[in-house]
Amino acid sequence: MPTARDWRDPVVGDEGAALQSCDIAIGYLSRNPRYCRDYDTALEAVGRGDNSAEAATEALIETWGLSFVVAPAKPYDPQAVIARPDVAPANVVLIEAPATLPEACPINLNEAGTISTQLNLSCGSYTVLADPQGDHHVWQLAPPGRPLALVIPNGPYRGIRLAAAQRLHRHLRGVLSGLPPLLLSDKAREHHRWLLRALDARLAGAKPREMAAIMIGEHVRGFNAAEWCDSRERRKISRWSAAATKLMTGGYLRLLCER
């Protein structure tokens, strides 16, 4: 997995990046020990030539919902993250258009700008189109060159799917696509920074009081046992740790559907 930074270091800002919910979700999943083992096993198999990167990646996203693309030459690439269309409504899904829609035509995504990631999978192709305002994640579940139709399921996330499709439409027209529907707010970024830092600390074996002293304030080192037990600082560390652990062990999938 990506090299873990020391949780004691100050949090580095990322205000210049167009972070979407999937970018934060992979941050939690990449700290999950079971996912790390699965990914490393897949990476080794691809490196030996026992499996293809496409097949290995497809197996991981089937199990975990999303994954880094299994690429031995460039592992853990944050631009190469793939998510299943059923768990990530910000992905645009294209299928072969029915014959009753004669105006439908193919889309050549290779001519649609810079491609960050592209995989040919058993069900179709997955493409990430780079965009400074927020990348576009596109599933084409149809053979190349076929007329395409957009899928917007009538479900709880239809607004997100429609917004993502409208952004892609503007991008294909060569105009500013606008902000993604699940772009993280500054408040959400700050919240997840603290949760991920708390998670790194717990995974490194740090004790709650040490975490509180570094993440909240050195004054907690002077608390006696009773003061520490009843302190707001201890409760805050406990809340951060519990929330981060829940996100790491499955809650990250919820982040694919919300800010």
pLDDT surpasses 80 at 12: no
Q: Are 65 and 255 in contact (CB under 8 A)?
A: no
Largest CA distance in the chain: 76
Q: What are the backbone dihedrals phi and psi of residue 150, each rounded to the nearest 5 degrees, phi first? A: -85, 140
What does DSSP assign to residue 95? E
Helix (H, G, I), strand (E, B) or coil at 160: helix
Q: Are 215 and 223 in contact (CB under 8 A)?
A: no
Q: What is the pLDDT of residues 165-174, one digit of tens each?
A: 999 999 999 9
pLDDT score at 16 = 52
pLDDT surpasses 90 at 45: yes
Q: Are 199 and 244 in contact (CB under 8 A)?
A: yes
- Angle at CA 226, nearest 5°, toward 221 and 227? 50
User: How confident is residue 14, by pLDDT bands cut at 50, 70 and 90?
Assistant: low
Helix (H, G, I), strand (E, B) or coil at 40: helix
Beta-sheet strand order (sheet of 92-96):
115-121, 124-129, 136-141, 92-96, 148-150
Q: What is the pLDDT of residues 195-245, one digit of tens each?
A: 999 999 999 999 999 999 999 999 999 999 999 999 999 999 999 999 999
Nearest CA to 246 out of 204, 202, 214 is that of 202
pLDDT score at 81 = 92
- Give the whole-angstrom CA distance, residue 11 versus residue 5: 10
Q: What is the pLDDT of residues 67-121, one digit of tens each?
A: 999 998 888 888 889 999 999 999 999 999 999 999 999 999 999 989 999 999 9
Whether this model's pTM surpasses 0.85: yes
pLDDT surpasses 70 at 11: no
What does DSSP assign to residue 218? G
